[in-house]
Structure 1
Amino acid sequence: LVPLSQSILVNTYPPEERGKAMAIWGIGVMIGPILGPTLGGYLTQVLSWRWTFYINVPVGIFSMLAIWHAVPDTKRRPRTMDWFGLALLSFGIGGLQFVLDRGNQDDWFDSHTIQIAALLSVIGFLGFVWHGLVHRERSLFDLRIFRDRNFSTSSLLLAVFGLGLYGTLVLQPMMLESLLGYPTFTTGLVMAPRGIASMLSMFLVGSLINRVGARPLITAGILLSIIGTFATTHYNLYISPFWVIWPIVVQGLGMGMIFVPLAAVAFTTLRPEQSAEAAGMYSLLRTIGSSIGISIVTTVMTRQARVVWNQLGGHIQPFNPSLYLYLDRLHLTPTDPRAAAVLGLELGRQARMVAFADAFTLIAWSFVAMVPMILLLRGSRIGARSGTGAAPAPTTE
């Protein structure tokens, strides 16, 4: 749905109007996963968890009716399906997804199953690239679109951005509920300002993108994301809601400023007939980047929790006066059987909090890594381009 809707926009709007169209479209793409936890938390708490699935039925019916009414059919181009290329890509993506889903659980490459899945994934991806280069005319994707520097750079930036965005969206609710004790609905409310901030920044981007170009907006968005994410590395177990929320707002402003101009500049220098394939590949790379990001940050969080737990445990020994002071406030002594349970629980909480901070630090540095990539973008003034002109509007048959 995402690449098809993006392709429709690119083919419908001329380059000078594409930035505003992408801004409105980007609100839907970004706000959905950002506000999802708020709605999901409310439905789970008030009704049941099943309603997080039932809600898709009326939305799907409404969307289907709207598509039949508003979206014109496109001109059909007879083309043979590249089943071999599809099979290779399926092996590549399927193997990668299995590795990412099961890697942390099976201790990564210590597992023979993970090794086999990783090997199949590498063979699938390499075979797909080889097949696409040798059989260009009937390949599933025309890989020559990566010769376009704006598209290839934007795709790489989007993959890294997916790591930061979805890694954050996974970790923050987990931290709020499991460590800070927030109810599900309250967690959703705390996360909601990110969506509001993203929506505001996307509206701002829509009005500025034709004036200042994509590169300054992407740069500003990355800097805001860096500031907001580094602020989350100072979270602790006793933090107030205000200090939880303001980094989320800054992150939302930054992420909204990144997504729209990045999507717009990716298609600025492509030919109109390349837009459908480019949109599919662009969306695929975003999905892969987010999957890799979620797997990386959860692995870092899990492993760091173990490491920090052992490090903190080394301070629990009879020669540490702080231990006696802590237990005395709880009216306990080191010989009390309850002391071991209390200390173990507190060690686990503190270790997980440090592990979350370490994972947020990794996400922040991933945003920092995006900064030098911006220099590779060229001609980022949307609609100022490019020699291809406006793309023709879809025709109805």
Structure 2
Amino acid sequence: MSAAGSGGAVDPKNVPFKGLITVSIMLATIMQVLDTTIANVALPNMQGSLQASQDQINWVLTSYIVAAAIMTPVTGWLSDRFGLRQVFIVSAAGFVATSMACGVSTSLEEMIFFRLLQGLCGAALVPLSQTVLLTINTKEQHGSAMAIWGAGIMVGPIIGPTLGGWLTETFNWRYVFFVNLPIGALALAGMIFFLPNTPKRQRGFDFFGFAMLSLFIGALQLFLDRGEQVDWFSSAEIWIELGLAITGIWVFTLHITGREQAFIDPKIFTDRNLVIALMMIFVVGMILLAGLALLPPMLQNILNYPVVTTGIVLAPRGVGTMISMLVVGRLVGKVDTRILIFTGLCLTAISLWQMSGFSITMDDTPIIVSGVVQGLGLGLVFVPLSTLAFATLEPRFRADAAALFSLMRNIGSSVGISIVSVELARNMVISKADLVSHVTPFDANFANVASSLPLDQTTMMAVLNQSASAQAAMVAYVDDFKLMMIITLCAIPLLALMSPPKKQAAAGGGDSHAAVME
């Protein structure tokens, strides 16, 4: 097997134990993806145990996200230089070890340090799992392989909060990290015994390019994660982070365009389908995790759902995704990939339109129905997009492209969460101000309600204030869902820039790289 597909060193038809390899690498992938969301619900318990303030405990999430984002782009170079098998095993082992260290941490400083190491170790797991599946499967099997990979990527964040809540309530917050031990042990055993050795490719390391890209990613992630906590542009920290991010990406772009041994070969961006796929996976990342960031607090704070009930109500979303991916894996190669993606984006937009009709008096039916529709839609987008992104790409670029694919999804998630969080807070204030402006003793409707209830005026005002706060919050959530629907619809025109499968083959003079789409 070739780490970066260098020269087709392995015949996918002759790879032994393909099923066991797939199971082991997907366990590692699910383990890493779970950790992006599983710790969120444990933060309040963790905060008390580690004696941290609200601002300090957020670094438990930020340190992991920033470290993982910075290390993701270097995955391609590491797999070329040291071999995909070796990097995969070391990354998985490091992730398990740092997870256990997080679980036994006794101070905030220890927790942040080990979370940072956990992010560094886990960054390679997702892109390498995608590279392995693309390499051990024939091009005709790429659709099914990406369906399996996509299921782990998309279902992980959905079940993460539910599993984290159950572990925290049943045991304690430390078990959100300890749960990685059995999963990681199985994944490591499978990789050690069945993942073949991979050829290494001599490739110089562009330290300056890596430093500039890391500066951009790190500063951007801090900008997005810290913005809401420090009141955005009223803080000097945010201006500094924005300036560093702009400087980093500007210098990096200039650097790689004039260098032969660049950190990321500029030739990778000559593949139009990959470039468009990177743009679209950015949007998918925004919708997937932004939605997951909004729904649990909405259900728990406004509709008063317990943590376990919240998980049960959101579970059908994952079921919809699984069904969609099982079906689409068989359709890729038989139906125009762009039609599948278009259908998926339309279903996603419909689900967000349904969510824009949520109210504080609804039962759980609208949540379940919209969740299933959205799960079906995102599944129809993710798998064909993952397949199409690599369909015409040279095999030697696979590891770098997989790293960029994961990076854009993660950045999209961070951007999406930041946007909806800002809009949510802003719209809550505006909506409540509008609602309470009508609640005065001189308002006829208020007078009628007040006279019908055996409460004094002070108590009545407190009750109405609480009700207005709930109504304003729901209006703000609905506005966020509408915004996400508009973003989804804006992504549809990008499909026109993608080459249809048959043209890809023709343009390449029968290039076998397009065979997956035939």
TM-score interval w.r.t. the shorter chain?
over 0.9
1:264·1:382 contact (CA, 8 Å) conserved in 2?
no
Q: Relative to 1, partners in 2 of residues 1:330 and 1:143: Cα closer, same or farther, differing over 3 Å?
A: farther
Is 1:282 aligned to residue 282 of structure 2? no
Where does the alignment leave 5 or more consecutive residues of structure 2 unmatched? Answer: 1-124
- Structure 2 CA distance for aligned equivalents of residues 178 and 381 of structure 1: 51
2:312 to 189, 193, 196: 189
Partner of 2:499: 378
TM-score by structure 1 length? 0.94
Cα deviation, 1:126-159, whole Å, max 9, x if unaligned, reads 1111111111x32211132122110000110110
Partner of 1:61: 185
- Structure 2 CA distance for aligned equivalents of residues 295 and 18 of structure 1: 34
Partner of 1:344: 465
- Structure 2 CA distance for aligned equivalents of residues 311 and 124 of structure 1: 43
Letter in 2 for 1:94: G
Letter in 2 for 1:310: A
- Structure 1 CA distance for aligned equivalents of residues 375 and 453 of structure 2: 40
Cα deviation, 1:99-134, whole Å, max 9, x if unaligned, reads 101112222222211111100010011111111111
1:18·1:382 contact (CA, 8 Å) conserved in 2?
no
Which structure is richer in relative contact order (CA contacts within 8 A, separation 6 or more)? 1
Is 1:129 aligned to residue 253 of structure 2? yes
Is 1:271 aligned to residue 394 of structure 2? yes
Moved more, 158-167 or 341-350: 341-350
Spell out the pairing of 1:311-350 with structure 2 (5 A cutoff): 311-333=434-456, 336-350=457-471
1:41·1:187 contact (CA, 8 Å) conserved in 2?
no
Moved more, 28-37 or 259-268: 28-37
- Structure 2 CA distance for aligned equivalents of residues 268 and 382 of structure 1: 12
State the Cα distance separating 1:328 from its structure 2 match: 3.7
1:265·1:382 contact (CA, 8 Å) conserved in 2?
no
Is 1:7 aligned to residue 135 of structure 2? no
Moved more, 118-127 or 54-63: 54-63
1:15·1:382 contact (CA, 8 Å) conserved in 2?
no
- Structure 2 CA distance for aligned equivalents of residues 201 and 384 of structure 1: 27
- Structure 1 CA distance for aligned equivalents of residues 131 and 252 of structure 2: 23
Is 1:89 aligned to residue 213 of structure 2? yes
- Structure 2 CA distance for aligned equivalents of residues 99 and 92 of structure 1: 10
Cα deviation, 1:67-116, whole Å, max 9, x if unaligned, reads 11222122101122211111111110111111101112222222211111
Q: Relative to 1, partners in 2 of residues 1:24 and 1:235: Cα closer, same or farther, differing over 3 Å?
A: same
1:211·1:381 contact (CA, 8 Å) conserved in 2?
no
Moved more, 375-384 or 81-90: 375-384
State the Cα distance separating 1:382 from its structure 2 match: 11
- Structure 2 CA distance for aligned equivalents of residues 150 and 271 of structure 1: 12
Aligned residues: 388
Where does the alignment leave 5 or more consecutive residues of structure 1 unmatched? Answer: 392-397
State the Cα distance separating 1:40 from its structure 2 match: 2.1
- Structure 2 CA distance for aligned equivalents of residues 372 and 14 of structure 1: 31
Cα deviation, 1:9-50, whole Å, max 9, x if unaligned, reads 222223222111111121111111122223223223322232
Partner of 1:244: 367
2:391·2:513 contact (CA, 8 Å) conserved in 1?
no
- Structure 2 CA distance for aligned equivalents of residues 348 and 131 of structure 1: 51
Partner of 1:395: none
Cα deviation, 1:363-397, whole Å, max 9, x if unaligned, reads 11111111111111113469967544259xxxxxx
Cα deviation, 1:187-234, whole Å, max 9, x if unaligned, reads 011111011110000000011111103111111111110111111111
Secondary structure at the aligned position of 1:237 is classed as coil
Cα deviation, 1:307-344, whole Å, max 9, x if unaligned, reads 111111111123322212333444225xx221232122
Is 1:20 aligned to residue 141 of structure 2? no
Spell out the pairing of 1:161-240 with structure 2 (5 A cutoff): 161-240=284-363
- Structure 1 CA distance for aligned equivalents of residues 216 and 296 of structure 2: 31
TM-score by structure 2 length? 0.72
2:232·2:238 contact (CA, 8 Å) conserved in 1?
yes
State the Cα distance separating 1:4 from its structure 2 match: 0.9
2:314·2:367 contact (CA, 8 Å) conserved in 1?
no
Letter in 2 for 1:362: L
Secondary structure at the aligned position of 1:240 is classed as coil
Partner of 1:356: 477
- Structure 1 CA distance for aligned equivalents of residues 310 and 501 of structure 2: 38
Coordinate RMSD, CA, aligned: 1.8
